[in-house]
A and B are shown apart, each in its own frame.
Chain A
Amino acid sequence: MADQPPESGQDFEQTLGASDTSVAEFKDRPHSALSRVQHLLHGNPTLVPIIVLAVAIVAFGFIAGERFFTPFNMTLIMQQVSIIGILAAAQSLVIITAGIDLSVAAIMVLVSVVTGKLAVDYGVPTGFALIIGFAVGIAAGLMNGLLVTRVKLPPFIVTLGTWNIFFALNLWLSGAQSIRSQDIDATASGLKFFGTNIILGSARLTYGTILMVVIFLVLWYVMNKTAWGRHVYMIGDDKEAAEMAGIRTDRTLVQVYMVAGFICAIGAWASIGRVGAISPQSFYEGNLSSITAVVIGGISLFGGRGSILGALFGALIVGVFESGLRLAGVDVLWQVFATGWLIIIAVAIDQWIREVST
């Protein structure tokens, strides 16, 4: 601004000197502390669940007494959330595509019944029975995926339907009767592999707990470091834009549901180790518990945002709350009450964080 336009310029150029010379720019609003937090959380979606988890552990350490904050109890919580955690891994994949999968737990229980019936009642070798179980899980996912992409039904409706279908099949195959732990030990003890304990001091990890963590780490890698993973995020963010960018969205979506089905089938194997028996009546509301974990983990129900690892922290938060309240001697119904508030608060925080981008 300081330089005078050259004298030699034409008349109409003389006025240039008075014009604004700054380039197009974003308004730099003064940042309040709150909006800085909002931006930080927007960039790091797993930060909220990590903070909540840490605060909850410390708080319950005070409230529930010393029994809570022991390696034994911490690893017990991990054991108790391991199956819902694995279902939440499958669920978060689908939710990142802006879908929802109400059939995850039904797929898992169906697979465990198929595998158990084959291995225990029909004497099929355990490994072969497991492979058939995996195939059933993947096929169930394929069915969900095709109904969503080919028949173009909303995922909620598709999986509401298949939840009931898979549950009915499970009751039909099992006769609503459990396969006893002792019968599994006698004929197909390999089905209980993931129930094996690793004892480190007073801590007790099971292979099932480690499996849950490994599933999350592998999925985290796939979602963040591979093209396929980024495509899944893009589809959830804006399906049409993803399509215009050359992503074969329908094919990827079908794959997502198939991977979810496969993870549920792995969960089925782990659940036999965890529960001991094969129980057709267990995990009836496991689908809702998995959605709870995903939502509390900061993964947006609107798709495209949130880290897979969030679901792991979400599952652990629910486990910590339940364990802490129980050790503090609080009635069961208040555990349910607390979980309800956690869901609402988590989604409210998610909505608030999303305002950054609007």
Chain B
Amino acid sequence: MTKTLKIALMGGIAALAMGTAAQAQETTACLITKTDTNPFFVMMREGATEAAEAAGINLLTYAGAIDGDVEAQVAAVETCIAAGASGILITPSDSRALAPVVGQAREAGLLVIALDTPFEPADTADATFATDNFLAGELIGKWAAATMGDTSGARIAMLDLNASEVSVDYLRNNGFLQGFGIDIMDPTDIGDETDERIVGNDVTNGNEEGGRTAMENLLQLDPNVNVVYTINEPAAAGAYEALRAFGLEDQALIVSVDGGCPGVQNVAEGVIGATSMQFPLLMASLGMDAIVQYAKDGSLPENTPGLDFFNTGVMLVTDQPVDGVESITSVEALELCWG
């Protein structure tokens, strides 16, 4: 064997050894979203990808076909366990059904962080990084009350999500009522309040068509509606269409939650009075940082004091700011909006 060949071989072996060492040190993280088409989750993936690149870790992303596709998410968690990932960021399509497989992942030593949607119970995962939906509702409630001044003549229409009354639905609904100054009854129930100022509740499925129909229905109950709470911005856009068809678009304040770009644009144009913006990008990037930290020294992320999750922030967007509620303008918000 010639000397050069020997050197080459040794070099090759060394390179191989180094390669394996690098392989062992490389950290892998997973991001599992409900779908990969909704702009909210697209933004989440962007946040996770940026954070993963910055930290030099390997990111695997998975998504269900539609919201509610539990089976695809279970398979994705199993794949992540098999891939030897250090941690999983997941927006569970079903708050309860994914508990067993998440348990398996944690037993295998993975850090599991719920993004946006908490598990039930929340401690199914190691941590939850989410919007404080109650606070999101409270901010728009306070804004609406402050904008009206005297709220004794308020006629409030509540446009909720659907008949299932999931957590995001009742949290935003009741947060709004509390912020507006209405006594809430059961904090996990919708529509049990007795305040005379509430005209009624109807469901929108969170889209324009449902928003329009629901608004028409509540206007049927009382044509003097002057405050409209909506679960999200597409529903708000639908509600505005109904008001406009009745020639009543100037009589009502519309408030909403989300921070999607079309919604922020609607704030700029005066269709929506105020909306609470969520930060999906931040959820994912903070979550990714937590996984990096965990992979380094095994430390777990801590919750925001007083909450059973880490609050990734919510910001009121309006062009008519009021005293006592911090807000940003629609121009500023267009820089931050998702989608």
A, B co-complexed:
yes
B266 at interface by CB-CB < 8 Å: yes
**Residue-wise interface mask of B (212-252) relative to A, using a CB-CB cutoff of 8 A (1 in contact, 0 not):** 11001100110000000000001001101100110000000
Q: A178-B237, A182-B271 are in contact. Are A283 and B220 (CB under 8 A)?
A: no
**Residue-wise interface mask of A (71-83) relative to B, using a CB-CB cutoff of 8 A (1 in contact, 0 not):** 0010010011001
Assembly CA distance A168 to B209 (angstroms)? 19
Establish whether residues B339 and A175, one from each chain, have CB atoms under 8 Å apart when the complex forms: yes
Which positions 58-84 of chain A face chain B at CB distance < 8 Å? Answer: 67, 73, 76, 79-80, 83
For A73, give the chain B residue with the smallest CB separation: B220
| B interface residues with partner A (beta carbon < 8 Å) | 35, 37-39, 42, 65, 162-163, 191, 200, 202-203, 205-210, 212-213, 216-217, 220-221, 234, 237-238, 240-241, 244-245, 260-262, 265-266, 269, 271, 339
Which listed residue, A73, A197, A277, touches B237 by the CB 8 Å rule? A277
Q: A274-B209, A279-B207, A332-B163 are in contact. Are A178 and B241 (CB under 8 A)?
A: no
Establish whether residues A332 and B202, one from each chain, have CB atoms under 8 Å apart when the complex forms: yes
Establish whether residues A180 and B266, one from each chain, have CB atoms under 8 Å apart when the complex forms: yes
Which positions 171-198 of chain A face chain B at CB distance < 8 Å? Answer: 171-172, 175-178, 180-182, 195, 197
Which listed residue, A181, A197, A204, A283, touches B241 by the CB 8 Å rule? A181
Establish whether residues A281 and B234, one from each chain, have CB atoms under 8 Å apart when the complex forms: yes
Which positions 304-354 of chain A face chain B at CB distance < 8 Å? Answer: 323, 326-327, 329, 331-333, 336
Establish whether residues B209 and A326, one from each chain, have CB atoms under 8 Å apart when the complex forms: no
Establish whether residues A336 and B262, one from each chain, have CB atoms under 8 Å apart when the complex forms: no
Assembly CA distance A282 to B266 (angstroms)? 19
For B271, give the chain A residue with the smallest CB separation: A182
Q: How far is the CB of B60 from chain A (nearest CB, A)?
A: 22
Establish whether residues B241 and A276, one from each chain, have CB atoms under 8 Å apart when the complex forms: yes
Chain B residues with CB under 8 A of A80: 213, 216
Q: How far is the CB of B263 from chain A (nearest CB, A)?
A: 9
Which listed residue, A172, A177, A197, A282, touches B262 by the CB 8 Å rule? A177
Which listed residue, B65, B203, B237, B265, touches A276 by the CB 8 Å rule? B237
Chain B residues with CB under 8 A of A336: 163
Q: A80-B213, A181-B240, A276-B241 are in contact. Are A176 and B208 (CB under 8 A)?
A: no
Establish whether residues B220 and A76, one from each chain, have CB atoms under 8 Å apart when the complex forms: yes
Chain A residues with CB under 8 A of B237: 178, 180-181, 276-277
Establish whether residues B37 and A171, one from each chain, have CB atoms under 8 Å apart when the complex forms: yes
| A interface residues with partner B (beta carbon < 8 Å) | 67, 73, 76, 79-80, 83, 164, 168, 171-172, 175-178, 180-182, 195, 197, 204, 271, 274-277, 279, 281-284, 323, 326-327, 329, 331-333, 336
Establish whether residues A279 and B208, one from each chain, have CB atoms under 8 Å apart when the complex forms: yes
Chain A residues with CB under 8 A of B208: 178, 181, 275-277, 279, 282
Assembly CA distance A333 to B205 (angstroms)? 13
Assembly CA distance A75 to B200 (angstroms)? 22
For A175, give the chain B residue with the smallest CB separation: B39
For A80, give the chain B residue with the smallest CB separation: B213
Assembly CA distance A73 to B223 (angstroms)? 12
Q: How far is the CB of B228 from chain A (nearest CB, A)?
A: 15
Assembly CA distance A281 to B37 (angstroms)? 11
Assembly CA distance A178 to B84 (angstroms)? 39
Assembly CA distance A9 to B38 (angstroms)? 96
Establish whether residues B212 and A274, one from each chain, have CB atoms under 8 Å apart when the complex forms: yes
Q: What are the 5 A-B residue pairs with the smallest beta carbon separation, nearest first?
A: A276-B241, A282-B209, A279-B208, A171-B37, A281-B207
Q: A177-B39, A180-B266 are in contact. Are A327 and B207 (CB under 8 A)?
A: no
Q: How far is the CB of B82 from chain A (nearest CB, A)?
A: 27
Q: List 19 A-B contacts (CB under 8 A).
A: A76-B220, A79-B216, A171-B35, A172-B37, A175-B42, A176-B35, A178-B234, A180-B266, A182-B271, A195-B245, A275-B208, A275-B238, A281-B234, A323-B217, A323-B220, A326-B220, A326-B221, A331-B163, A332-B163
For B270, give the chain A residue with the smallest CB separation: A182
Chain A residues with CB under 8 A of B203: 332
Assembly CA distance A323 to B213 (angstroms)? 10
Chain B residues with CB under 8 A of A276: 208, 212, 237-238, 240-241, 244
Which listed residue, A76, A180, A283, touches B265 by the CB 8 Å rule? A180
For B234, give the chain A residue with the smallest CB separation: A178
Establish whether residues A282 and B207, one from each chain, have CB atoms under 8 Å apart when the complex forms: yes
Besides A175-B39, A182-B266, 11 new A-B residue pairs in contact (Cβ under 8 A), listed by A number = A171-B35, A177-B262, A178-B207, A279-B208, A284-B205, A326-B202, A327-B220, A327-B221, A331-B191, A332-B163, A333-B163
Q: How far is the CB of A186 from chain B (nearest CB, A)?
A: 11
Assembly CA distance A73 to B220 (angstroms)? 8
